[in-house]
Amino acid sequence: MKTVITGATKGIGRAIAEVFAREGHDLAICARNENDLKNFQSELQDKYSIKVIQKPTDVAKKEQVIAFADYIKSEWSQVDVLINNAGVYFPGDVHSEDEGTLEALIETNLYSAYYLTRALLPVMLPQAKGHIFNICSVASLIALPGGGSYSISKFAMLGFNKVLREEMKDKGIRVTAVMPGATWSHSWDAMKDQLPENRLMKASDVAEAVWGAYKLSDQAVIEELVMRPQLGDL
């Protein structure tokens, strides 16, 4: 099996890569930092005896997303799972956030998934099976305080997922929106000393939920997977 994961070296993306590698999937991964990618590639291959291909990619740049897709297609003749995970979070309010915040968040959190999905669907459609996961957020469902343009971008990502789900229904490709609440990752590093460990979810919890959704039969799909810390949103 062949799985593509964006933003794969940190947080939820890294945890998902670990789970799919553990289960024997070959991986195509991208992130911005080349050293992080090479180190993770070696780690996964040594630990799980799988094949990992990687390409440094700034998903905010369309041409780099397309180059990543072209590289995958030059190496693989099939894609079984696409996980659009890459994203960025800037806190703020619409009326006061920095000029350009919306554009930056839309480019990374939405356009990257749109461009990569369009580029890889010509490989997936002839297979008449596969699974696309779009990592959204609980901010796709409710306007969180201080969410600003981040929430706008994640609402848009959920809209993209809904449209794609309808389009892929009769083509054998399952589509799932994953909407995690607060999850420990580098984004929360500044808060580690202020919050108890159990106040946020583990990235591995999200990864295992994604794997569980993937392992359903081809006759079933989890359209929207919402996860929150036991104590609720922060």
Instruction: List the CATH number of the domain containing 89.
Output: 3.40.50.720
CB atoms within 10 A of CB 96: 8
In a domain, 95, yes or no: yes
Looking at residue 142, its pLDDT comes to 92
In a domain, 180, yes or no: yes
pLDDT digits (tens, 9 = 90+) for 129-157: 999 999 999 999 998 888 899 999 999 99
pLDDT band for position 186 (50/70/90)? low
In a domain, 232, yes or no: no
Work out the mean pLDDT of the chain and round it to a whole number. 94
In a domain, 169, yes or no: yes
Residue 23 has pLDDT above 70, yes or no: yes
Provide mean pLDDT across the span 28-56: 97
Provide mean pLDDT across the span 199-207: 94
In a domain, 221, yes or no: yes
In a domain, 46, yes or no: yes
Residue 188 has pLDDT above 80, yes or no: no
Looking at residue 198, its pLDDT comes to 81
pLDDT digits (tens, 9 = 90+) for 84-131: 999 998 888 999 999 999 999 999 999 999 999 999 999 999 999 999
Of the residues 48, 111, 115, 150, which is catalytic? 150
The candidate with the shortest Cα–Cα distance to 214, out of 150, 148, 129, 139, is 129
Are the CB atoms for 36 and 17 separated by under 8 Å? no
Domains contained in the chain, number: 1
In a domain, 233, yes or no: no
What is the spatial distance between Cα 107 and Cα 188, in angstroms, rounded to a whole number?
22
Provide mean pLDDT across the span 16-43: 98
Q: Among this protein's residues, is 214 annotated catalytic?
A: no
In a domain, 14, yes or no: yes
Residue 193 has pLDDT above 70, yes or no: no
Percent of the chain with pLDDT over 90: 84
Looking at residue 234, its pLDDT comes to 79
Provide mean pLDDT across the span 24-44: 97
25's enclosing H/E stretch is none
**CA distance to 5, 8, 49, 58, per residue, from 55 (Å):** 11, 11, 19, 10
Looking at residue 191, its pLDDT comes to 61
Domain limits at 209?
Answer: 2-227
Of 97-101, 193-197, 200-204, minimum mean pLDDT range: 193-197
At how many degrees (to 10) do helices 203-214 and 11-22 cross? Answer: 50
